[in-house]
DNA sequence: TAACAAACGTTATATTATAACACTATGATA
DNA sequence: TATCATAGTGTTATAATATAACGTTTGTTA
């Protein structure tokens, strides 16, 4: 298992644009932004996104169908993700909190199964939006 | 604020089919199943779904774009939802755990905002699927 | 009854995501 | 070297999910 993943051309292009973005990006907005680089079809975007998610380089914000770069080192390959989402400006922050992560990773629902993975999305109004 | 919400005709039809389902239902599968009752267009389904979600009668499973009936009395108007999802058979269970709910409702991210709502999705393989 | 809000029905369209197929590059292996 | 497998690419087409916009109907309330 290689420490540093080698990215393909398209994967690099897609990761690059997501990393540079200030907020979550939608697949088709990525597509429109990379057409000058010779990527023409949704498939090319979705394939890159899938691999980047597998590698833990990006995450999908399920409630928004959008993608953000991983800013956290302790979210090992996307097995434990948590986000803070502003319902006004759409800002998304990855939450990196060891206690929270530990609490949820260890959570066992009595009548249920053993969990392999979780995704948590918090919603509210961010400080910046509250000032308005 | 009325204790018992009065549902419209379409809302009743949609809620009824979701409540009777064994697993999460997709909007278009709901649509196909109610066409005999005179509902013909996606809009009618989505409008009912939106209202039912507002009322806390159903929840959306974001990672699946599907809908389940609320089985929990203490998830007050969908402000605090948690689910257990089998990655093999697609089964979804609403998690009703007071400690978990309290812990997350009280969670405050130091550099962030005050949260009004959260949604948590756990993934794994359910007991039934593990036997195979 | 007049006014308003909520729900309804309908047509059209936007947005998000996948299927399918042929092709290319790479590296392992026999 | 020939061959095989794996991963990535490019392309066309289509499926699946969701919303816009408009006018009508229904139910509540003043
Ligand atoms: Zn991360
Ligand atoms: Zn904001
Ligand atoms: Zn519930
Ligand atoms: Zn299962």
Give the closest of A84, A113, A123 to B124, CB-based.
Answer: A113
Per-residue pLDDT band at A77 (split at 50, 70, 90): confident
CB B53 within 8 A of CB B107: no
Q: Taking residues A99-124, what's their average pLDDT? A: 92
Q: Which two tokens stand for residue A73?
A: 């080192």
pLDDT in tens, A1-58: 333 568 999 999 999 999 999 999 999 999 999 999 999 999 999 999 999 999 999 9
Q: Which two tokens stand for residue B95?
A: 């998690």
Query: In this structure, what are the phi and psi dihedrals at residue B10, rounded to the nearest 5 degrees?
Result: -65, -40
Ranges of each domain in chain A:
9-69, 80-131
CATH of A9-69, one of 1.10.150.20, 1.10.10.10, 3.40.190.10, 1.10.530.10: 1.10.10.10
Q: Flag residues 39-78 of A with CB < 7 Å from strand D.
A: 39-44, 47-48, 51
Q: Is the predicted pLDDT of residue A73 greater than 90, yes or no?
A: no
pLDDT tens per residue across all 132 residues of chain B: 333 578 999 999 999 999 999 999 999 999 999 999 999 999 999 999 999 999 999 999 999 999 999 998 656 677 999 999 999 999 999 999 999 999 999 998 877 789 999 999 999 999 999 877
Q: Is the predicted pLDDT of residue A76 greater than 80, yes or no?
A: no
Alpha carbon distance B100, B54 (integer Å) = 22
Element (H, E) at A122: strand A115-124
DSSP for residue A106: T
Q: Taking residues A70-88, what's their average pLDDT? A: 85
CB–CB contact A113 B86 (8 Å): yes
Please check whether the two domains, A9-69 and A80-131, share a CATH topology: no
Residue A115 CB burial class (10 angstroms; 0-12, 13-18, ≥19): buried
Domain B80-131 sits in CATH at 3.30.1490.190
CB–CB contact A115 B122 (8 Å): yes
Residues of A in contact with B88 (CB under 8 A): none
Q: Is the predicted pLDDT of residue A130 greater than 60, yes or no?
A: yes
């Amino acid at each position: 298992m290689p420490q540093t993943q080698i990215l393909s051309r398209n994967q690099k292009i897609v990761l690059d644009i997501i990393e540079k973005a200030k907020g979550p990006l939608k697949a088709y907005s990525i597509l429109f932004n990379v057409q000058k680089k010779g990527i023409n079809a949704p498939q090319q975007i979705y394939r890159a996104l899938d691999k980047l998610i597998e590698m833990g380089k990006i995450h999908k914000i399920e409630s928004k169908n959008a993608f953000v770069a991983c800013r956290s080192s302790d979210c090992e390959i996307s097995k434990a993700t948590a986000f803070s989402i502003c319902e006004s400006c759409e800002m998304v922050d990855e939450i990196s909190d060891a206690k929270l992560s530990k609490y949820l990773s260890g959570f066992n629902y009595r009548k249920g199964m053993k969990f392999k993975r979780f995704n948590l999305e918090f919603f509210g109004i961010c400080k910046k939006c509250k000032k308005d």
